[in-house]
Amino acid sequence: MITAFSTTGYGNITFQTTLARIFMSFILFVGVCFIVPFLHHISTIIDSQYLYKTYRPSKTSNHVVICGDFSDMAVEVLLRHFYAGWRRYLDTRIVILTTDNHSAEMKLLANLSWLKGRVELLVGDPTNPVDLRRCGAKKADAIFLFGNTRSSAYYNDYRLIGESMAVGLYDPGLPQHLMLRRGRTAKQIAPYAASSLEIERMTRQLLGLSMVLPGIVPFLINLLRTYEPLPSDTTASQHWIELYEYSIRNDLYVIPTPDSLRGREFRVLAKEFYERDVTLIGISDNRNRVQLNPRELVANSKKLILIAKSLEVAEAAADTIARNYEVTFGEEMLVAPDPDEYFKTKYRAMHVSFGRTRTNNMEYEDLYDDRSDDKKSVDNLKSTVRKQTAEKPHSPTVSSPTFAMRQSHSFEGVFDQSTTETSSESATTEDSGQSSAHMKEMLIEVDNAFDFGNHFIVIDLASAKAKENETRYAHENTLTAVAHDIYNVLLPLRQSHPENDIVLLTNDTSFAPYFETLWTLKADTRPVHYINGCGLNTVDLMKSNLEGCAGCCILFSGDISRYGSTSAMAMLVMLSIQEIMQGPPPFPVVVELEGLANLPLFPPNAEDERLQVKAESDFVFEPNYIIGNAISRVMLYPALVGAYFSAEFIDVMDVLIKGRSPDVPAVSWMPLAACDMEMETYRDVVSFCLKVGFLPIALHRRIVDQHNPAITGYRYVITNPPRGLPVHVTTDAIFYITPDK
């Protein structure tokens, strides 16, 4: 360019005099000033092709539209899940419509060999009919509305409702799948939504549930994702990585109920499916209600909900069982669960804990001892269990919040631990002085938690993050959102451990009136204690009595600004806890992360090269994810994609996370050492659990790996284990679905 402006012809004629050269320098400067904006304009036109690009639907293939503002990792998670496993052969294309220009990473992702020609990138606004026409919305199978995924602010739902209404006016028959931040806006989108994912509520409830059931995060998230199935013989070596890799390839499937299976006892069918390495977990009735582990017959069953390695395996198992039952209908019925065995097993499970539990100094052997000649009657046993569980005989819970962390090689001695009363006398006196449930003070300040034991610690770092300026009414909505977040985290703790204390570490309790309104909906609930402090302060962390707690979680409640990283502060608190405990804590510590890129940044880390390579390709192989130490809302995005393939998908996940009711969890945990039966394989575990009414869904197994000493002693989940898999009675535990009423 300089040569062209400073010479004549082809560059062989130049100026020789000084005056001419000065004049040419001026011309050169003017030329550059004109050519640079021109080149910028050309590049802008090239980049703006996405603003005018139009997707032309093919007559031979379908397509869906995904709208929202995503991070690069979120887009990768969605695309990988949509075309994973058996869906890689689907002739369905994806049109991604965003309001901002696509990043270079997103463009590179769309041009990968397995996505090129299947993903189209457009820039536009879903509220604009012209942009909807450009992405072929009228001929699309469905549209996904995610909104701004970088922010959890409640007002994003209002924008999402506007987009939903605009799409509904453009094409009333187009199925919409929406990701909501808050559940209170669900009514506004009900006429249009085929499904809705309440992302903040489910994330917070899963965060609280992971303190009670360590390992529940990888179990549920792995059910959301789809992988290519592996042959069954890959578990022959019994190496834990191979077992885990086999496990994550089990998915959730919904298939029609064969006519010959209607009217059968549910556990009869469950046992038949177990024999084919398929886990039948529930049904969907003719009213589209999801029932997990129902007690009643499946006469009104419309669909079966199963966990299997592939859709073909699930359908083949259903067809085989249906053919067998066409002849034997009414001849083989599983013996109904033994009520005496149910109560005995339930009580054993309640008392197997690595921490201190509230049992009023009553030992298990005092209630029932199979070796004693003078046994107490079954009626006395039932009465005692009902008293210990607040008259809830059908909601078995397991008091074992510390099981997922580093423990000894066996369960020896756990039945001999003495029980202690963990609540302080002052708290008991204060609780007893309240006259009615709705008049209780449900958020009580304490100076420290040294008088508590086996308590749960919830560290809220929201006050450490700058928030956006807001009006008075917007501030009230923000406080309501904070109250709902705290409530959703604490709800699973109250479901499984109604007598354990909860300590909230925060220096902002302005949400207290809104929280107490939610917390007093349960008349018999215990108040929550809080310490005025910040989790970033080591002194405040020590006041929470980490040595005596049963579980801890770190979160950011409310509507946090999208600017800046919250994961860095959460990881700092995690490192401070490890410093205080002088090593890995013996209780579960769950960290809420805003993205997946921060998973490998805090210990434990993968040391074996084999595991490192797998972790670089997929976050499910990160040690912090495998043992259930971290959760991010990005992990739940595939649930909305799952609802496109199975309408019951989100309902099933919601029941598993939320529970059957505010008082009854849907998933519980029990060590095999609590089972009064000799067990060698997973088939024996299934037989025992079905006998007492439990529905086993996964094993919780200890990691033993000399190549990864940093994670040896932690635990991982094996979903839908093969029926012939050997079990370790002294160290293994079982995740099971509680009986439905």
First vs last Cα of the chain: how many Å apart? 81
What is the rounded average pLDDT of the residues 534-550? 91
Same domain, 125 and 69: yes
Is residue 200 included in any domain, yes or no? no
Q: What is the mean pLDDT of the chain?
A: 78
Same domain, 541 and 572: yes
Note whether 490 and 539 are same-domain residues.
yes
Whether 105 and 15 share a structural domain: no
The Cα 29–Cα 5 span in angstroms is 9
Residue 159 backbone class (left: φ over 0; alpha: ψ -120 to 50; beta: rest): alpha
Residue 53 has pLDDT above 80, yes or no: no
Asked if residue 491 and residue 593 are part of one domain, the reply reads yes
Half-sphere exposure of 719 (CA within 13 A, CB side): 26
Q: Which residues pair with 529 in a beta bridge?
A: 444, 503
Higher pLDDT, 151 or 140: 140
Are 27 and 70 in the same domain? Answer: no
Reported confidence tier of residue 420, pLDDT bands at 50, 70, 90: very low
Q: Say if residues 351 and 359 touch (Cβ distance below 8 Å).
A: yes
Per-residue pLDDT, averaged over 230-252, amounts to: 75
Q: What is the pLDDT of residues 256-312, one digit of tens each?
A: 999 888 888 888 889 999 999 999 999 988 888 898 998 776 677 889 999 998 889
For residues 2 and 145, membership in a common domain is answered with no
**For residue 224, what pLDDT is reported?**
87
For residue 189, the model assigns a pLDDT of 62
Please, are residues 101 and 51 in contact by the beta-carbon 8 Å criterion?
Answer: no
Residue where a domain stops, chosen among 29, 52, 75:
52
pLDDT surpassing 60 at residue 350: no
How far is residue 451 from each of residues 490, 540, 542, 577, measured CA to CA in Å? 20, 15, 13, 19
CB proximity list for 542: less than 8 A, separation 6 or greater: 580
- Can you tell me the mean pLDDT for 638-652? 89
Considering 135, 170, 191, which residue would you say is the last residue of a domain?
191
**Predicted pLDDT of residue 278:** 94
Beta strands in 350-495 (DSSP E): 443-445, 455-460
Indicate whether 342 pLDDT > 90. Answer: no
Q: Which of 158, 312, 215 is nearest to 697 (CA)?
A: 215
Give the span between the Cα atoms of 210 and 631, in whole angstroms.
Answer: 9
Is residue 216 predicted with pLDDT exceeding 90?
A: yes
Encoded amino acid at 403, one letter:
F
Q: For 236-300, where are the E strands, in sequence order?
A: 251-256, 279-285, 290-292
Within a domain: residue 304? Answer: no
The whole-number average pLDDT for the span 661-685 is 88
Same domain, 116 and 177: yes
Q: Please give the residue range of the domain that contains residue 546.
A: 443-638
Whether residues 44 and 136 share a domain: the answer is no
> 13 has which bridge partners?
8
What band does 421 get if pLDDT is binned at 50, 70 and 90? very low
Same-domain pairing of 462 and 599? yes
Secondary structure of residue 503 in the 3-state scheme: strand
CA distance 67 to 51: 14
The single-letter code of the amino acid at 628 is G
Q: How much is the average pLDDT of 645-652?
A: 89
Considering only 19-33, 128-142, 490-504, which range has the smallest mean pLDDT? 19-33
Q: Is residue 81 part of a domain?
A: yes
> Rounded mean pLDDT of 318-330?
77
Q: Are the C-beta atoms of residues 281 and 306 closer than 8 Å to each other?
A: yes
pLDDT of residue 143: 93
* 175 domain-assigned: yes
Residue 634 has pLDDT above 70, yes or no: yes
Task: Tell me the residue type at 184.
Answer: R
pLDDT band at 413 (very low <50, low <70, confident <90, very high): very low
In terms of domains, do 34 and 5 share one?
yes
Q: Give the residue among 305, 351, 270 at the shortest CA–CA distance from 686.
A: 270
Q: What is residue 552's predicted lDDT score, i.e. its pLDDT?
A: 94
pTM: 0.79
Query: What would the pLDDT profile of 72-121 be if each residue is shown by its tens digit?
Result: 778 888 888 888 877 888 889 999 998 888 888 888 888 888 888 889 89
* Number of domains into which the chain is organized: 3
d(CA 739, CA 116): 47
Does some domain include residue 430?
Answer: no
Residue 731 lies in a domain: no
Task: Please give the radius of gyration of the chain, using alpha carbons only, rounded to the nearest integer.
Answer: 29
Residue 300 main-chain phi, psi, to 5 deg: -100, 20
CATH number for the domain including 109? Answer: 3.40.50.720
**Exposure string (b/e) for 586-604, b if CB count within 10 Å is 16 or more?**
ebbbbbbbbbbbbbbebeb
204 in a structural domain: no
Q: What is the pLDDT of residues 369-410, one digit of tens each?
A: 333 333 333 344 334 434 433 333 333 333 333 333 343 333
With respect to residue 133, please indicate whether it lies within any of the assigned structural domains: yes
Q: Mean pLDDT over residues 529-544, rounded?
A: 91
**Residue that finishes a domain, picked among 597, 618, 638:** 638
Residues 74 and 129 in one domain: yes
CA distance 32 to 730: 79
- Which pLDDT band holds residue 238 (cuts at 50, 70, 90)? low
Provide the pLDDT for residue 734: 94
Contacts of 312 (CB under 8 A, 6+ apart): 86
Q: Is 188 helix (H, G, I), strand (E, B) or coil?
A: helix
Helix, strand or coil for residue 415? helix
Output the CA–CA distances (angstroms, integers) from residue 574 to 59, 124, 504, 549, 591, in the order listed: 54, 41, 16, 15, 8
**Residue 51 C-alpha from the chain's centroid:** 35
Q: How far apart are CA 455 and CA 355, in angstroms?
A: 10
